[in-house]
Structure 1
Amino acid sequence: MSIFKSNTFLLLLVLISAFQIQAQTEKQKEIKQLLEKNADWQIEHFEDTYSRKKKHHPNHWTNGALYSGMVKWAALSDNDKYYDWLKNDIGNQQKWSYQHAHGYHADPHAVGQLYVDLYKKYKEDKMLAPTIELLDFIIDNPSASSLKWKSPNHQNRWNWCDALFMSPPLWAKTYKVTGNKKYLDFMVSEFKATTNFLFDKDERLYYRDERFITKRDHDQKIFWARGNGWVFAGLVNIMNELNPKSKEYKYFLKIYKSMAKKLVEIQTEKGHWAMSLLGDEFYPTPETSGSSFFVYGLAWGVNNKILHKSKYKKAAIKGWNAMAGYVHENGMLGYVQPIGAAPGVASKNVTEVYGTGAFLSAGTEMYKIYHK
C-alpha cells in the first residue's frame, strides 16, 4: 500500500471515529434531557400521581420504586436539586424511618434502599439507624409463615415476586455498608426460598404468586411483565452491592442471565414487552413500568460486560427507543399499568410513580451504553 493510500485510510478511520464519538455524545445529551424532563415533571406532580383513590404516603412502596430510579438520576445529573429533594423532602421529612408500615412486609423496605444510598453519600448515622433496627428485629424474630398465598401472615415472607425488588436489595445494601454478613445470609436464604417456590425453570420467569402457578390465560401460563420487571431490576440492584467473585453474586447472576436470555426471545417487535409476557397476541398495549425495568437490566448487563452478545445491546436500545417514545412533551411517562397483580390495561395518559422510577433507572444505564 502506498504512503498516500495509507494516510487516506488512516484519515478515514479518524473521521469515522470522530463521527461515532459525536453521535454518542449527542445521544447521551438527548437521554439526559429526557430524563431531566421526566424527573422534573414527577417531582412537580409528586403528590398527585396515583392510580387509586388514595394518595400515596411518601413511604409507600410505589414511591420506593420511584426513589430507586431518582437516586440513580441524581448521581448522573449535573444538578444537586435531585439529591436535595431526596434528602430533605423525603428522608429528613420521614425521619429515615418506616413509620408508614413497620415489620416483615417487604413493600415498605423499598424506601429503605434510598436511605442506605443516601447514607453512602452523606455518612449521617441517622440515615441508617432505623434500617438497622428493622432488619435486626426481623433476623432476631424470623417469620415462620408459609409461602402459600392464603396461609396466615403469608406476606411476612417474600411469597410474591414483586417482593424481590422491594426488600432483598435493602438487605444487600445494608450488608455492603456495615460489612455484617448476617444481612446477606438472611437475604440469600429467603430469596432462594421464594425462587424455589415461584420460578418456572422451563420458562425462566417468575409467577407473581402461588395463585398463578396453575392459572392460565388463553391456555398460556401467566407471567406478569411488571412482576418480572421487579425481579429483574431487583437482581441488578442486589448484584451492584456484592463482590462479583462471591458465591452469592454467582447465584444471582445465574438467574439474571437465564431471565435475560428469555426476555430477548420474547421482546415484541415494537420494543416493549407484553403485560402477559407470553401473550403479546392478547395484550398488544405497551406497558412502560415492566418494560423499563427490563431495559434497565439488559443495559446494565451490557455495560458490565456480562451480556456480551450484540443482540442484548440491540434489545436494550430497541426497548429504550420504545420507552422514550411514550414520554409526553411535558415529561410525563405514559402507558404505565395502574397498581395491580396481574396483566391488565394501560393507556397513553395514565402514569404512576413506579413507572417513572423504572424509566429513570433504564435511562441512566442507557446513558452508559453510549459512553464509549
Structure 2
Amino acid sequence: MRRRNFLRLTAALPLATTVTAADQTPAVAVDALPDRTAVLDTVRRVNNYWISGHADPGDNLWARATYFSGNMAAYRITGEARYLSYAKSWAEKHSYSLAGGVTTRHADNHNAGQTYLDLYEILGGEQKIAAIEASLHRMVYTDQPEKNDDWWWVDALHMAMPPLVRLGALRGDTNYWVKMYAMYNHTKRVQGGGLYDYEDELWYRDSTWSPGGTGKLSPNSKPVFWSRGNGWAYAAHAKVLSVLPSTDKRAPEYQWNMQGISRSLLATQRPDGFWNPSLRDAQHLPGKESSGTAMFCYGLAHAIRTGVIDRYTYLPVLAKGWNALVRDAVHPDGRLGWVQGIGDRPESSRPITYDSTADFGVGAFLMAGEEIARLLH
C-alpha cells in the first residue's frame, strides 16, 4: 500500500507573502471569512433565487435531493419558514417515497431520505421516514445482508451513508453503522482495486480511473481525481461524523480520511480559491468549478469547527474558497454559476461557464453556508 510524501504536496502550495520594512520577515497573507450576517445574506440570496425559478419543486432523484439537503441546511441556519414549507411540499409531492421503491439498493435513490429525515426530526410523523427506513432495513437485515458491493462509484458515499448513520442513531441500532462501514470499506479498498488512493489521499470516481480497474490517466499521464467526486466523499464523511459518536471504533478512520483529503485540498487549491475539475493534473481542463469547491468548503468548515483538522492551517483555505464562490460564482440576483453539470469525470458537461448552474451545486453551496455560519457563531 502506497503512502504519500506529505512534504511533496505541501511544498507545492503557493503562498502569497508580504514583507515588512522593519524586519524583512515574510508573513502569509491570509484571506478572512466575511462576518456571519454576510454569509447568511448570501445563503438567502442564492436559495431565494432558486425557489423563485422552481415553483414545481421537482423530482426526488439524487440531484434534486441534494438541493433539498442544502435547502434544509439553509432553513436550519436562517429559520426562514418558507424554506421548510418548500421542502415539505417537495416531500409530500412524492409521498415521502424513494425512486425505485423500498426494494431499491441504489444509493442515488436513498439520497432523498436525508431530507425526509430532516423533516421527521423537525415535524415528527413516522410516515415521513417509512420508505427510507424500510429500504435500508432490508439491506441491513433481509435483502442479501452480506452483499457490500452496491456502492461502486464514490458519489454513493454521500447519497447513502448519511441516512444509514442517522437511522442507526435514531433507532439505537448499531447494525446500521456496521453495515455502513462494510459497504464503505468495500468501496474504499476492494471496488476496482480500491477507489481510495493512499498516496494522493484522494478518491477515484470509479474503477474507470483506479489502478486496480481500467486505470485511465489524464492526457498528461497523471491519475484523474475528479473534483466533485471527491466533494461527494468529503461531504459524506462530514455528515457521518456529525452523527456518529466519537466513541464508535470506526470514527477515527472517517476522521483520518477527512484529514487526508484536507491535506490534498491544501496542495491543489487554485490561486483564485477554486479547485479545478481535475485535482491532480493542473493542466487537465483547468478552470473554475463551483460544485466541487462548495463541497470542499462544506467539509472544511465542518472539520475545522469540530476539531478534525487544524484551524490555523485550514481556515485560510476555507476563506479563500468561500470568498471565490461569492465573488465569482454568485450572480447579483443569486444565481450560482460555474457549476459543472451532471457527469462522472472532468470532461463531463462542458463548457463550464459563469452561467452554468444545477440544483445539486446550489445544494452544496447552501450546505457550505450553514457550516460556515456555525463556525462563525
TM range (shorter): 0.7 to 0.9
Give the one of 308, 328, 335 matched to 2:338.
335
The answer to whether the 8 Å contact 1:96/1:130 transfers is yes
Counterpart CA distance in 1 for 2:288 and 2:253 is: 32
> Match for 1:313 among 312, 315, 319?
315
Mapped to 2, the partners of 1:123 and 1:181 lie a distance apart of 22
Contact 2:157 2:233 in 1 (8 A): yes
Aligned to 2:208, what secondary structure does the other structure show?
helix
State the alpha-carbon separation in 1 of the partners of residues 305 and 293 from structure 2: 18
**Residue identity opposite 2:96 in structure 1:** W
Letter paired with 2:120: Y
Do the aligned residues in 2 keep the contact of 1:59 with 1:100 (CA within 8 Å)?
no
CA distance, structure 2, for counterparts of residue 46 and residue 222 of structure 1 = 35
- Partner residue, 2:52: 44
2 CA distance for matches of 1:142 and 1:183? Answer: 14
Structure 1: tracts of 5 or more residues without a match: 1-22, 49-55, 148-156
Q: Which has the larger radius of gyration?
A: 1
TM-score when normalising by structure 2: 0.84
Instruction: Name 1:63's counterpart in structure 2.
Output: 64
For 1:130 and 1:146, the matched residues in 2 are separated by: 21
Structure whose residues are more often helix by fraction = 1
CA distance in 2, matches of 1:46, 1:144: 41
Which amino acid is 2:359 matched to?
A: V
Aligned pair count reads 331
What is the alpha-carbon distance in structure 2 between the residues aligned to residue 145 and residue 210 of structure 1?
A: 19
Aligned to 1:251: 253
Instruction: Return 226-235 or 176-185, whichever deviates more.
Output: 176-185
- Deviations along 1:244-275, one digit per CA (max 9) or x if unpaired, are 12212222111111111111111111101110
Asked if 1 retains the 8 angstrom alpha-carbon contact of 2:71 and 2:83, the reply is yes
2: distance between equivalents of 1:100 and 1:158? 16
Equivalent in the alignment of 2:21: none
How far apart are the structure 1 equivalents of 2:100 and 2:326?
Answer: 33
Give the Å deviation of 1:144.
7.1
Equivalent position of 1:193 in the other structure: 186
Q: Deviations over 1:214-246 (max 9, x none)?
A: 111121100000000000001101111111122
Match of 2:364 in 1: 358
Alignment counterpart, residue 208 of structure 1, candidates 205, 208, 212: 205
Q: Residue 236 of structure 1 corresponds to which residue in structure 2?
A: 238
Deviation larger for 197-206 or 179-188? 179-188
In 2: Cα distance, 1:100 partner to 1:329 partner: 39
- Which whole-Å deviations, capped at 9, do the CAs of 1:1-54 have from their partners, x for residues lacking one? xxxxxxxxxxxxxxxxxxxxxx98x72111111110101111122368xxxxxx
Residue 93 (structure 2) aligns with: 93
Alpha-carbon distance change, 98 to 146 in structure 1, aligned in 2, over 3 angstroms: closer
Return the alpha-carbon distance in structure 2 between the equivalents of residues 73 and 180 of structure 1: 29
Deviation for aligned residue 1:295:
0.6
TM-score (norm 1): 0.85
Structure 1 stretches of 4+ moved >3 Å: 99-102, 143-147
- SS at the partner of 2:111? helix
Post-superposition shift, 1:133?
1.1
Q: Residue 264 of structure 2: which of 259, 262, 265 is its match?
A: 262
Contact 1:164/1:230 (8 A) holds in 2:
yes
Answering whether residue 125 of structure 2 is matched by residue 124 of structure 1, we say: yes
- Read off the aligned partner of 1:204 and give its amino acid letter: E
Q: Pairwise mapping of residues 146-161 of structure 1 onto structure 2 (< 5 A)?
A: 147=149, 157-161=150-154
Name the CA shift for 1:183/1:43 in 2 (closer, same or farther; >3 Å): same
Give the counterpart letter for 2:166 in structure 1: K
3-state DSSP of counterpart to 2:322: helix
**More deviation in 38-47 or 183-192?**
38-47
**Where does residue 38 of structure 2 map in the other structure?**
30
Unaligned 5+ runs, structure 2 = 1-31
Does 2:173 correspond to 1:176? no
Alpha-carbon offset, residue 367 of structure 1: 1.5
Paired residue type of 1:198: L
Relative to structure 1, the CA distance from residue 144 to residue 46 in structure 2 (aligned partners, 3 Å threshold; closer, same or farther) is farther
